[in-house]
Amino acid sequence: MSTNQSLKPVTAENREHLYIGGCDTVELAQKYGTPLYVLDEKTIRTICKEYKHAFGGYKNIRMMYACKSLCNLAVLRIVTDEGFGLDTVSSGEIYTAYKAGADMSKVLFNGNNKSKEEIELALNLGVGRFSVDNFYEAELLNEIAVSQGKSVNILLRITPGIECHTHDYIQTGQIDSKFGFDLSQIDEIINLIKNKYNNLNLKGIHAHIGSQIFETRSYYDEVEILVKELARIKEVHGIILEEMNIGGGLGVKYTEEDCPPSVDELASAVTSAMKNAIEKYSIREPAIYIEPGRSIISTAGVTLYTVGSSKTIPGVRKYVALDGGMADNPRPGMYQAKYTADAANKMNFCEKELVTLAGRFCESGDILIENIELPRLEPGDIICVYNTGAYNYSMASNYNRVAKPAMVLVNNSQSDMIVDRESLEDLIARENIPDRLR
């Protein structure tokens, strides 16, 4: 079974308490406090190795970790140590990559509205590729490159017109999208690059069709469209493009009902589609970039909470309140995302009850998990919500003026703080009262 098809980290063990990475999660909660993000290093490294092995038969494959899913110094050090490049979308992600010691030539700068300051930082730090999203960006990037006397390697991001079966908010490849050039605009931007934007070095094309994808057919279709476009560009413009970035998007298992494809199934779909399309359109085999994010980091992460109050509405439901919620995990509220959980200190308790795990924040919609069977819970019990590595910390907020949780990395029975818990002083550290209000 591929790691992305598991509900729990690969090191998860039931020893009456839940253990991850050889560490007792109840002791982690006591030592570091809750809410607490916990990352299992072995799970991250395992899925990275699965990707490299699965695509090993394609000689020109380049793995990129999508930093937006979870970006901090320790995580980027691990994935780059495993041989991955980095897909970044902001100056913050680029700077984190740089400080983590990444090979900046293996960093791609993506995004639909890059600022002048972000572009300048990326050029100064030696980012290897820019995925150009629109006409304005192409002009701005060339202008800055000219001013710095640099030639910039670029990909053109396109919208291939594929609507994969996922949530509307995380579809990115359909025609009506804020991202990328429509296929009808490709000739115009290539002519500008050829005749006007002399400091842009066009290397290939880039597409991303969505996130949390459960069907490999979408990748077949994407590869077919992109290879066809490479062949058309060669015929019309006489340009042989050497690179093709197909994005990421492979789904993960949040609940028992979820059945995402394995990494092997993804690799088989992509490489067989590539082989067929290359033969069909008679082009030279391009380098394939693939950008997994969620499937690299999600299963490795869990979040620990402490049980507080509860409320029973006769004939309706029982609410059990946790000390976190929508500020540390906004996905249930945004996407109606579903999760699985255990009572980490009561793994072998037989007496169960149906409860709804509610967050602590001032919104009726702050519900983490609705109608889950757990042991009879009491104040002080520790709840572990699985598969929270991706888009939880990344999208966390200070709603209700609550400090963001800490994050620890566990491996071989050792735990290390990799993100400090915010303090009350942190919440006001960048605020000032004008003199006139004193």
Q: 75-113, pLDDT tens digit by residue?
A: 999 999 999 999 999 999 999 999 999 999 999 999 999
- Residue 175 in contact with residue 161, Cβ under 8 Å? yes
Residue 165 has pLDDT above 60, yes or no: no
Residue 167 has pLDDT above 90, yes or no: no
Residue 170 has pLDDT above 50, yes or no: no
Q: What is the average pLDDT across 244-269? A: 96
* Nearest Cα to Cα of residue 305 among 212, 192, 381: 381
* pLDDT in the model for residue 162: 75
* pLDDT in the model for residue 160: 87
- Supply the angle between the helices 135-148 and 186-195 in degrees, to the nearest 10: 20
Catalytic site residue 362?
Answer: yes
pTM: 0.94
Residue 169 has pLDDT above 50, yes or no: no
Please indicate whether the domains covering 41-297 and 301-428 agree at the CATH topology level. Answer: no
Give the integer Cα–Cα distance in Å for 410 and 418: 10
Share of the chain above pLDDT 90, in %: 92
Give the integer Cα–Cα distance in Å for 231 and 238: 10
* pLDDT in the model for residue 176: 61
* pLDDT in the model for residue 178: 79
Q: 103-130, pLDDT tens digit by residue?
A: 999 999 999 999 999 999 999 999 999 9
Fold of 41-297: TIM Barrel (3.20.20)
For residue 409, CA distances in Å to 73, 251, 381 come to: 12, 23, 22
With a CB cutoff of 8 Å and minimum separation 6, the contacts of 69 are 293, 294, 296, 297, 298, 389, 390, 391, 394
Architecture of the domain whose range is 301-428 = Beta Barrel (2.40)
Give the integer Cα–Cα distance in Å for 431 and 411: 38
Mean pLDDT score across all residues of the chain: 95
* pLDDT in the model for residue 203: 98
Q: 399-430, pLDDT tens digit by residue?
A: 999 999 999 999 999 999 999 999 999 999 99
Q: 315-360, pLDDT tens digit by residue?
A: 999 999 999 999 999 999 988 999 999 999 999 998 999 999 999 9
Structure-token pair, residue 195: 């005749």
Domain ranges of the chain: 41-297, 301-428
* pLDDT in the model for residue 282: 94
Share of the chain above pLDDT 70, in %: 97
* pLDDT in the model for residue 431: 96
Task: Exactly one of 48, 164, 362, 384 is catalytic; name it.
Answer: 362
Q: 183-222, pLDDT tens digit by residue?
A: 999 999 999 999 999 999 999 999 998 889 999 998 999 9
Give the integer Cα–Cα distance in Å for 53 and 268: 12
